[in-house]
Amino acid sequence: MTATIHRLNPSGRAPSLEPMMALVANDMNQVNSVILARMQSDIPLIPELAGHLIAGGGKRMRPMLMLACARMLDYTGTRHHKLAASVEFIHTATLLHDDVVDKSDLRRGRRTANLIWGNPASVLVGDFLFSRSFELMVEDGSLKALRILSNASAVIAEGEVNQLTAQRQVETGEDRYLQIIGAKTAALFAAACRIAAVVAERPEADELALDAYGRNLGIAFQLVDDAIDYASDAETMGKGVGDDFRDGKVTLPVILAHARGSAEDRSFWRDAMHGHRIGDDDLAHAKSLLEQTGAIADTIERARHYGQRAIDALGSFGSSQAKSTLVEAVEFAIARAY
Amino acid sequence: MTATIHRLNPSGRAPSLEPMMALVANDMNQVNSVILARMQSDIPLIPELAGHLIAGGGKRMRPMLMLACARMLDYTGTRHHKLAASVEFIHTATLLHDDVVDKSDLRRGRRTANLIWGNPASVLVGDFLFSRSFELMVEDGSLKALRILSNASAVIAEGEVNQLTAQRQVETGEDRYLQIIGAKTAALFAAACRIAAVVAERPEADELALDAYGRNLGIAFQLVDDAIDYASDAETMGKGVGDDFRDGKVTLPVILAHARGSAEDRSFWRDAMHGHRIGDDDLAHAKSLLEQTGAIADTIERARHYGQRAIDALGSFGSSQAKSTLVEAVEFAIARAY
């Protein structure tokens, strides 16, 4: 028997999420029905505001991963429909609150809810979706799923607070940065994937493997996001380019450029992260420093590292169409950087 | 056998929460230990901010009611300690978000967290406490308690959004107002009391009786709060006097004064709720209109009605010291108005 080594080396056609979307299309229709049904309320502002974001072109990445993982485990039930909707509600609540925290005005290429309806409505509708997500989990009735998702929620919130206190602190180290994105982004990816093993009633080793897959994929996604925030235009990114720069978000590209830079460069980064150099010229200068120090290229290298770990975490699962889509999702995450 | 009729007629000494506090003091120490232990985090801002509010002189009304109800049911276990802490975390998260929504600067006589640490930190630490509260429920492991509290949380958030959309709408009717306070305030009182019957494994009739007790008590509390917002000074109230007036919160006193007032009065209320008449003179005029129309007195009469219903909801439980403290809590809620 020959070992099958999945290498993170997209060749030929560009990696895409299309195969995964096609694979789980029927399940995703069910998830979407749950999402639409359960974001309703007698208070019209709730479905109006929630719907703006939920219908606003998100990829449903986390539900999709849960569905694809469940497919890989040959799960044929329907329990994951409610749980996937629950994960999407947690994610949506987080986005609503994030946009308030960051004072964002663009998300997925559209005006943010806080810009249209104001901060109070975004905070409260986020709370509603968060509560509703727990109602869905309780309806499923698995204490294990509840434990995984309530823990992930607390970890996400901790990560957000951690990020808030690291804001503008250009001395933030790579370890702390990884801790932050591991919490605010990767924890929900990990939980979404892990729950597939819970509903399929697989042994804990499978839970942990899927948790590791989701976690590493989530980190890779966030690293690439942070890289392309400096590389992309608003249309590609669906949010303003250079937003992280202007918000004083100390992401890995900045950490590397700061650590590798001259005294003068460091002074620039410090001033920039404190909001004193946020003009277009400053952004252009930042980009040139990121280029010179190899900070963007190495951020993407780090993403490749976590991407490879994600793929290797799937090693114990036999070959299948579903597994191939999970591997390709990793390749897709990385390929966005190019 | 003679019927025992509890009448809402405080006589002799002023009604107090002291007997209830004394009754549940040992249990409350355990609840406080859980609260202190579980608001910790490696991110220092979390316990710092949460502790400001949690240690800031709150009465722990909802945990206390849960403990007293459990005592009335002769429950001798410890499961309610975690669940009471969970309820307090939900309440604290709600307060943090409320203060952001209302831009409040005073709460329980102290500067609000949003004033000290900013809105982003208050939003995110609220999210953390909310997640932590679900972790505590999951640790308890009762799906029934989880169902009651996740439902209450969603109802609270709906009530908050409902209140937000009713803000400044002076035509808000009494029914809608009752719907709002039933959701944003009374639902958590109801859930806290009901859970005592869940942990004591009592029949559903007892759950429903305690739910009704808590719900009616919560409405009475809120009605009295809304009345004394126009009557009290900042020291008594622990928040700014006339806050509701300046925030354009259409509470029952305003609804009654508006409905009963002349065309000129109505015009005043409309302008005031829209924020065009919020000076000290305007507040004084508002108070005189509330007085003339009997709006404050009748708001308190409404509170007495719900208070009496709360007491009658306890009718099926035999006499006990614990029951007496629950009756006195209702009397205390009302007596604050005098």
A46 CB contacts (<8 Å, ≥6 apart)? A39, A40, A125, A128, B158, B161
Q: Give dist(CA B160, CA A130) in Å, integer.
A: 14
Which residues, listed in sequence order, are joined to residue A106 by a DSSP beta bridge? A111
Decide if A157 and B121 are in contact by the 8 Å CB cutoff. no
pLDDT band at A234 (very low <50, low <70, confident <90, very high): very low
* pLDDT tens column, A317-333: 999 999 999 999 999 99
Decide if A134 and B150 are in contact by the 8 Å CB cutoff. yes
Q: Give dist(CA B188, CA A135) in Å, integer.
A: 15
What pLDDT is recorded for position A55? 82
Quickly name the fold that domain B18-335 has.
Farnesyl Diphosphate Synthase (1.10.600)
Nearest by CB to A128, from B100, B119, B161: name it. B161
Q: Which of A133-142, A251-260, B46-55, B184-193 has the lowest mean pLDDT?
A: B46-55
A1 pLDDT higher than 50: no
Q: Give dist(CA B243, CA B249) in Å, integer.
A: 8
Q: What is the DSSP string of B187-243?
A: HHHHHHHHHHHHHTT--HHHHHHHHHHHHHHHHHHHHHHHHHTTT--HHHHSS-TTH
> Are B182 and B159 in contact, with CB atoms under 8 Å apart?
yes
Q: What is the mean pLDDT of chain A?
A: 93
Burial of residue B230 (CB within 10 Å: 0-12, 13-18, 19+) is: buried
- The helix (H) or strand (E) run that includes residue B44 is none
Nearest Cα residue to A313 out of A191, A171, A213: A213
What pLDDT is recorded for position A6? 65
Chain A residues whose beta carbon lies within 8 Å of the beta carbon of residue B45: 161, 164-165
Decide if A127 and B157 are in contact by the 8 Å CB cutoff. yes
How confident is the model over A209-228, as a mean pLDDT? 97
* CA A238 to mean position of chain CA atoms: 14
Buried b (16+ CB within 10 A) or exposed e, B34-43: bbeebbebeb
Which residues, listed in sequence order, are joined to residue B110 by a DSSP beta bridge? B107
Q: Residue A76: helix, strand or coil by DSSP?
A: coil
A236 pLDDT higher than 60: no
DSSP state of B110: E
**Cβ count within 10 A of residue B17:** 16
Please tell me which residue of chain B has the smallest CA distance to A48. Answer: B161
Chain A residues whose beta carbon lies within 8 Å of the beta carbon of residue B93: 127
Structure tokens at B219: 């409405």
> Are A194 and A207 in contact, with CB atoms under 8 Å apart?
yes
Nearest Cα residue to A192 out of A86, A313, A62: A62
Which residues of A make CB contacts under 8 Å with B? 41-46, 93-94, 97, 100-101, 119-121, 123-125, 127-128, 130-132, 134-135, 137-138, 141, 143, 146-147, 150-151, 153-154, 156-158, 160-162, 164-165
What pLDDT is recorded for position B202? 98
Tell me how many residue pairs between chain A and chain B have CB atoms under 8 A apart. 134
Structure tokens at B209: 């009786």
Q: Give dist(CA A329, CA A336) in Å, integer.
A: 11
Q: Which of A194-203, A227-236, B61-70, B258-267 has the lowest mean pLDDT?
A: A227-236
Instruction: Please state the ipTM of this predicted complex.
Output: 0.92
Q: Where are the domains of chain A?
A: 18-335
Please tell me which residue of chain B has the smallest CA distance to A150. Answer: B135
A288 pLDDT higher than 90: yes
* pLDDT tens column, A25-75: 999 999 999 999 999 999 999 999 999 998 877 889 999 999 999 999 999
Reading phi first (left if > 0) and then psi (alpha if -120 to 50, else beta), residue B141 is in: left
* Segments in chain B below pLDDT 70: 1-12, 232-240
For an interface test with B, which of A39, A43, A133, A198 has the most B Cβ atoms less than 10 Å from its Cβ? Answer: A43
Nearest Cα residue to B291 out of B338, B336, B227: B227
For chain B, the distance separating the N- and C-terminal CA atoms, rounded to the nearest angstrom, is 36
Nearest by CB to B165, from A45, A154, A160: name it. A45
Q: What is the DSSP string of A105-154?
A: -EETTEE-HHHHH-HHHHHHHHHHHHHHHHHHHHHHT-HHHHHHHHHHHH
Which residues of B make CB contacts under 8 Å with A? 41-46, 93-94, 97, 100-101, 119-121, 123-125, 127-128, 130-132, 134-135, 137-138, 141, 143, 146-147, 150-151, 153-154, 156-158, 160-162, 164-165
What are φ and ψ of residue A163, in 5° steps? -60, -40
Q: Which amino acid is at A76?
A: T
Structure tokens at A194: 């892990």
> Are A162 and B124 in contact, with CB atoms under 8 Å apart?
no
Helix, strand, coil content of chain A in percent (nearest 5): 70, 0, 25
Burial of residue A338 (CB within 10 Å: 0-12, 13-18, 19+) is: exposed
- The helix (H) or strand (E) run that includes residue A241 is none
Nearest Cα residue to B158 out of A259, A125, A153, A133: A125
How many alpha carbons lie under 13 Å from residue B240 in its C-beta half-sphere? 16
Nearest by CB to A161, from B125, B138, B165: name it. B125
> Are B313 and B216 in contact, with CB atoms under 8 Å apart?
yes
- Which segments within chain A are labelled E, that is strand? 106-107, 110-111
> Are A81 and A34 in contact, with CB atoms under 8 Å apart?
yes
A240 pLDDT higher than 80: no
**Cβ count within 10 A of residue B79:** 18
Please tell me which residue of chain B has the smallest CA distance to A129. Answer: B154
Buried b (16+ CB within 10 A) or exposed e, B132-171: bbbbbbbbbebbbbbbbbbbbbbbbbbbbbbbbbbbeebe
A302 CB contacts (<8 Å, ≥6 apart)? A223, A252
Structure tokens at B177: 């107002």
